[in-house]
């Protein structure tokens, strides 16, 4: 079992009781004292609820224990009767037992990687109101509003640690899959390393702006972000309103992913056909020029190119206010506004590339497994850039080969983590411990987090903090890692 997956003590005891005692009751009768067993069952369940707490994944286990207690009280053999009755009892028990063991394992109480930096981590929120028109809604008077989760090195006194994910992330994630809004309440048992609203450590820190993936949990990147912050960076985690699973505003309002906009512009037949045809044409192309033409068409005309431009503007809207926040907010005098980097995942990674083209205030950027939509294919980066990709398999077309064909006039690193998947850079492989569901490949999640954070930190240390390093040498340290400097 992965060290990130926590099967709690009394949960294990309840599961063992559920597995062993039905057979014991059928073969040994009730030779043990009935009252003693009933009291023992009751105490274990009570201790579980008191010290560990209820979670719905344990419902099959609770049900089996209730049935066992009833059988014990009535002195009823668990597998009793003729072969038909025994078959039905056995099938029912086996099904319950399968769910009893699998649900807590597949959707576990997990442990986040422990940050290794010298700084404790705090977080708070900033509500950013822009004068830009909100493109997602139908109301022409709506203006673009963003929630920014600020992660920062902190001075800790008596502050409590924050729960894993806020209600915008949790309820929006449940809503995405048509689940009850309380589905992810069990995440309260996941311990983060981030404290709620402490004071920022008394130093100036470089600023990194982070952009999440489309229709994902905006702050579902604890495993990576906590480590980066612990090493002395302030991370401004943008929540792209209406395009994440959910954005929680200070008044308690949650603005969920806008499905009406999605149906009208994103998940349309036209866009689906464009994506499918481009993949076929790319994989069937005979020459490099044919692949270039296919890549240019999809990268510039797919709806993700429009999202990329909008999110790039969101990044610039955050940068516009850094000086203001550095004067009159909880971040006052803590932002080194001469050291600004950007990084993001998936669609957010594409926004990072676009922002490097559009905003001169940004020094360097990192893309985590994003296809570079938009006009990068006909542009040349003028800033240091690092792209870390997952292990794309055929027939996934590598449009990035052509998107970044011009590289950078400064430096461009192209890296890949073997056996990883698109979700490997998120917390998803910790939340969902099933490889064919979590899209995180076969690699241990901790390995991806370690490789990613070490590479990202070295990169930003080099270009924001002027600390010389050799990124290429990392491939000798991590066997699953490939990295090369792209030649222009």
Q: What is the SS3 assignment for 419-479?
A: CECHHHHCCHHHHCCCHHHHCCECCCHHHHHHHHHHHHHHHHHHHHCCCCCCHHHHHHHCC
pLDDT tens by residue, 376-391: 999 999 999 999 999 9
Q: Is residue 115 part of a domain?
A: no
CA angle 240, 244, 248 (to 5 degrees): 80
Asked if residue 74 and residue 101 are part of one domain, the reply reads: yes
Boundary of a domain, candidates 76, 110, 144: 110
What is the overall mean pLDDT for the chain? 93
The answer to whether residue 82 is domain-embedded is yes
Task: Record the tokens describing residue 216, joined without a space.
Answer: 């994902």
Does the model's pTM come out above 0.75?
Answer: yes
Distance between CA atoms of 155 and 256, rounded to whole angstroms? 33
Give the integer Cα–Cα distance in Å for 349 and 480.
22
| pLDDT at position 29 over 60 | no
Residue with tokens 């020029």: 289
408-418 b/e (C-beta count within 10 Å ≥ 16 → b): beebbbbbbbe
Residue 31 belongs to what domain range? 5-110
Residues 368 and 416 in one domain: yes
CA pair distance 71, 66, nearest whole angstrom: 9
Asked if residue 256 is part of any domain, the answer here is yes
Measured CA angle at 7 (ends 6, 10), to 5 deg: 135
For residue 308, being part of any structural domain is answered with: yes
* Co-location of 329 and 355 in the same domain: yes
Q: Which of 83, 110, 137 is the last residue of a domain?
A: 110
Q: Tens digits of per-residue pLDDT, 183-198? A: 999 999 999 999 999 9
Q: Kindly report, residue by residue over 83-114, the tens digit of the pLDDT.
A: 777 788 778 888 999 999 999 999 999 999 99
Sign of CA dihedral 302, 306, 309, 312: negative
**349 & 435 share domain:** yes
Q: Residue 79 pLDDT more than 70?
A: no
User: Does residue 260 form part of some domain?
Assistant: yes
* Of 192, 170, 188, 2, the residue nearest 112 (C-alpha): 192
Please report which confidence band the pLDDT of residue 1 belongs to, taking 50, 70 and 90 as the band edges. very low
DSSP label at residue 381: B
The vertex-138 CA angle with 132 and 142, nearest 5°, equals: 35
Q: How far is CA 169 from the centre of its chain?
A: 10
What residues pair up with 109 in beta bridges, in sequence order? 6
335: β partners: 205
Number of domains forming the structure of the chain: 2
Tell me, yes or no, whether 100 and 137 share the same domain: no
- CA 352 to chain CA centroid, Å, is 17
Band of the pLDDT at 437, cuts 50, 70, 90? Answer: confident
Same domain, 205 and 262: yes
**In the 8-state DSSP scheme, what is residue 114?**
P
Pick 413 or 34 by higher pLDDT. Answer: 413
Q: What is the mean pLDDT of residues 204-212?
A: 98
Phi then psi for residue 186, to 5 deg, are -65, -15
pLDDT band at 28 (very low <50, low <70, confident <90, very high): low
Please tell me the predicted confidence (pLDDT) of residue 143: 97
User: b or e along 59-93 (b: 16 or more beta carbons within 10 Å of the residue's beta carbon)?
Assistant: ebbbebbebbbebbeeeebbeeeeeeeeeebeeeb
**Together in a domain, 203 and 330:** yes
- Angle at CA of residue 188, ends 183 and 194, nearest 5°: 135
**222 and 104 belong to one structural domain:** no
The residues with which 389 forms a beta bridge, in sequence order, are 416
Q: Is the same domain home to 360 and 415?
A: yes
In eight-state DSSP terms, residue 408 is B
Query: Which residue is it, tokens 């066992």?
Result: 68
Region 51-70 average pLDDT: 91
Are the beta carbons of 347 and 369 closer than 8 angstroms?
Answer: no
301 and 396 inside one domain: yes
Predicted local confidence at residue 34, as pLDDT: 74
Predicted pLDDT of residue 70: 83
Chain centre to alpha carbon of residue 204:
28
Residue 29 lies in a domain: yes
pLDDT on residue 23: 77
Take residue 202 and report the two structure tokens written for it: 């008394």
Is it the case that residue 30 has pLDDT exceeding 60?
no
Instruction: State percent of the chain over pLDDT 70.
Output: 96
Which domain CATH number covers 182? 3.40.50.1820
Question: So what's the pLDDT on residue 4?
Answer: 63
Q: Tell me whether residue 262 is in a domain.
A: yes
**End position of a domain, from candidates 110, 129, 162:** 110
92 and 129 belong to one structural domain: no
Residues 274-290 have pLDDT tens digits of 999 999 999 999 999 99
Tell me: do 66 and 135 sit in the same domain: no
480 assigned to some structural domain: yes
């Amino acid at each position: 079992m992965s060290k990130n997956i926590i099967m709690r003590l009394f949960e294990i005891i309840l599961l063992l009781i559920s597995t062993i005692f039905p057979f014991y009751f059928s073969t040994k009768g009730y030779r043990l004292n009935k009252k003693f067993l009933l009291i023992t069952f009751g105490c274990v369940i009570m201790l579980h609820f008191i010290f560990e707490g209820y979670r719905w994944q344990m419902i099959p286990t609770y049900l089996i224990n209730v049935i066992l207690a009833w059988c014990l009280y009535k002195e009823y053999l668990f597998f009793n009767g003729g072969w038909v009755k025994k078959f039905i009892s056995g099938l029912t028990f086996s099904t319950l037992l399968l769910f009893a063991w699998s649900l807590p394992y597949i959707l576990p109480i997990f442990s986040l990687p422990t940050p290794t930096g010298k700084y404790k981590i705090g977080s708070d929120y900033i509500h950013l109101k822009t004068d830009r028109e909100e493109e997602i809604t139908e109301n022409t008077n709506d203006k673009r509003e963003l929630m920014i989760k600020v992660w920062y090195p902190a001075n800790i006194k008596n502050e409590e640690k924050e729960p894993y994910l806020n209600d915008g992330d949790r309820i929006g994630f449940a809503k995405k899959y048509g689940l009850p809004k309380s589905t992810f309440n069990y995440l309260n048992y996941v311990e983060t390393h981030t404290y709620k609203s402490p004071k920022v450590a008394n130093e100036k820190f470089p600023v990194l702006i982070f952009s999440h993936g489309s229709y994902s949990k905006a702050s579902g990147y604890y495993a990576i972000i906590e480590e980066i912050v612990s090493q002395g960076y302030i991370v401004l985690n943008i929540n792209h309103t209406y395009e994440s699973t959910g954005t929680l505003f200070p008044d308690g309002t949650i603005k969920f992913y806008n499905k009406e906009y999605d149906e009208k512009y994103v998940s349309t037949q036209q866009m689906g056909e464009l994506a499918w045809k481009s993949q076929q044409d790319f994989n069937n192309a005979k020459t490099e020029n044919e692949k270039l033409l296919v890549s240019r068409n999809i990268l510039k005309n797919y709806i993700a190119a429009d999202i990329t431009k909008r999110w790039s503007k969101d990044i610039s809207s955050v940068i516009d206010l850094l000086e203001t926040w550095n004067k009159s907010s909880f971040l006052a005098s803590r932002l080194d506004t001469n050291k600004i980097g950007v990084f993001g995942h998936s669609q957010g990674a594409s926004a990072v590339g676009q922002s490097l083209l559009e905003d001169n205030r940004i020094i360097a950027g990192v893309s985590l497994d994003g296809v570079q939509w938009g006009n990068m294919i006909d542009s040349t980066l003028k800033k240091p850039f690092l792209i870390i990709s997952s292990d794309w398999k055929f027939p996934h077309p590598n449009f990035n080969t052509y998107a970044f064909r011009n590289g950078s006039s400064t430096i461009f690193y192209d890296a890949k983590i073997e056996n990883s998947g698109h979700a490997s850079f998120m917390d998803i492989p910790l939340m969902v411990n099933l490889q064919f569901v979590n899209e995180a490949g076969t690699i241990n999640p901790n390995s991806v987090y370690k490789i990613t954070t070490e590479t990202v930190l070295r990169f930003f240390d080099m270009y924001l903090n002027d600390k010389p390093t050799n990124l290429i040498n990392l491939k000798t340290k991590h066997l699953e890692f490939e990295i090369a400097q792209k030649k222009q």
